[in-house]
Structure 1
Amino acid sequence: MSQWRLDWPTSGGGRIASGRLKTTPGDFIVDELLEFLESGSDVEADATPGSGEHLCLKLEKVGDNTEYVARELARMADCRNFDVGFCGLKDRHAVTRQWFSLYRPGCEAQDASLIEDIAARWPVLAASRQARKLRRGEHKGNGFIVTLRAVTGEHEVIDRALARLADIGAPNYFGPQRFGNGGANLDRAVHLDPATLNRRSRSGGKGRGGKKRAGSDGSKNVLYFSAARSWLFNEVLAARVEDGSWAEAGATGPLWGDGGTTASGPLETLERDIVAQTPGLASLFSVTRMKPERRPLAVKPERLSWQWLADDSLELTFVLSPGQYATTILSDIFELEDMSLSRHNEQQG
């Protein structure tokens, strides 16, 4: 497929304003909410609160992605990369506050020294010990403070749109970043051999001399496969947005799997007809053994509030559950220009 749709219908039939996102990292603040660790975690205490083999730290970072920080923490703590846990990937071009766990059994006496070393790289906001490693999606959600600059549009119209967002939410699309530049991840997905996705080498993916074969870990295939699944969901959601049924109570869409969809009746027919329009992606799921799942069609931010800082500057505060994206809900109202991408392209040039 030479061109992929990467911009889907909005709930209101079109965006009513525009704005610049991430003009500075401080314009996009993300605070990971992990309640069972937040209380009683004062880093000024003589001993780290809690007990267990894992030292958990809440760090504030700017300009570093989550996986890079995790690798650096493993190096500083003298443990394996696998021994560092976190709940989700956070944006590099933002101020992000998130928890990491480090597997350090029997090293409680060294916690203070390690925390001091880490604090020289990233502010340590909280520390605690617990019995198990942090896992993906374990956090309760993420709190956001997003400031849009160079906002164009009438204040009253924008205020009404935001009130509607607080009331019914926005279409729960996957963001375009998941699909790669120009849909490159989808281009690669259609060229995958579905038969290889479940094939395991008897040698454990190693070639002669015990060397790991290039790409044998399948991580890139998983990325492309996930992009395909997400794009098909967006296509189904787009059809539901266009017919007005996306905001029905409890409405869900398909995360395609082996057997396709768990829907039945007219909804099953709709979903299968849409997926069949892209046979190159649909064929990926025939031998993957991945169970079909469902995802809500609507995403509604919790505790949404906003204030105009200036005539063209708008600050929004809200909370989202894991797997929900701030840019997705804002893009239902605003045509967003991500200034961090502009800076990245300039640096690459």
Structure 2
Amino acid sequence: MNALRTRRVATARLTQQITDLRDEGEPVLFVHGNVSTSAFWHTSLTALPDRYRPIAVDLRGFGGTDPLPVDATRGVRDYADDLAALLDTLGIDGAHLVGWSMGGGVAMQFLRDRPAAVRSLSLVSPVSPYGFGGTRGPEGTLNSPDGAGSGGGTANPEFVRLLAEGDRGEDSPLSPRAVLASCYVKPPLRPAHEDTYVEAMLTTRTGDGHYPGDSTPSDAWPGVAPGTRGVLNCLAPVHFRVDDLHLVEPKPPVLWIRGEDDVIVADTSLFDLAHLGSVGAVPGWDGTPAQPMVAQTRHVLDRYAAAGGSVREVAVPGAGHAVHLERPEEFGAALAEVLSA
């Protein structure tokens, strides 16, 4: 079996760190989620048959890629444009895209902007096409015009502090290791290579231009609205919305795979302030409904299918947010099917 290799690639936009195995085969580009790196894809890379050329990239501000700040007013286009620059530098004019969580949003944006360059799209527990927080209903209606309830001000400050301090323990339930064990995967599973994943999480750059980003006060509950910089703001619904995927041409086949017990991307997400307010964990709740993240993704992908696209949804029982780590065989089988479609 070929060994993984990690290198930095200078592109027209920034220098990006990638991990791959070979220079030949059909390109498959793996895009990680928030507070993670390409290390979360390593087992998936080695499982692909030799006919494929798997590449996992660190997004800006994570891992070994240059820590350029994120212009959140562009949604996730900074990330998507970085991917395009990487593929151009590598001489790749079309690739299969696999995006996990926030990386799923980046992959959707890439498809929206460059459909001819996407051979297939695999979404692994993806962020809603209407962003994270601040919306209601399957059509992603804003709860407030300023996007209140989303953006950089919604992050737990204790988690941000422990992340910035490089905490490797789990004395606090908000330490990176504890969040990995309780939210990225479904307990009581402890993933193989856990230490590697914790180290990857700790490469996350913090601050207004990175994670979680800046914020602005709001007159609407819960009193905070998105800013214009950083990671959580680029996922705010006032900046990120890809609900028109049904209009792209050509329409590559889409796989949507998720864990049924995901607590991060869910219709009742433990990271959604509206849901937390409804259970008394955030004070002053005014009845704002939880964001139905899964229903929103299904709404957008149903429109894609109705317009002639091919969509397969796979819900894995007993799995959480990182289904590719928790159930690698089922993930690999579903991925192999869409790659060969």
State TM-score, norm by structure 1. 0.25
Larger Cα-atom Rg: 1
Higher strand share: 1
State TM-score, norm by structure 2. 0.26
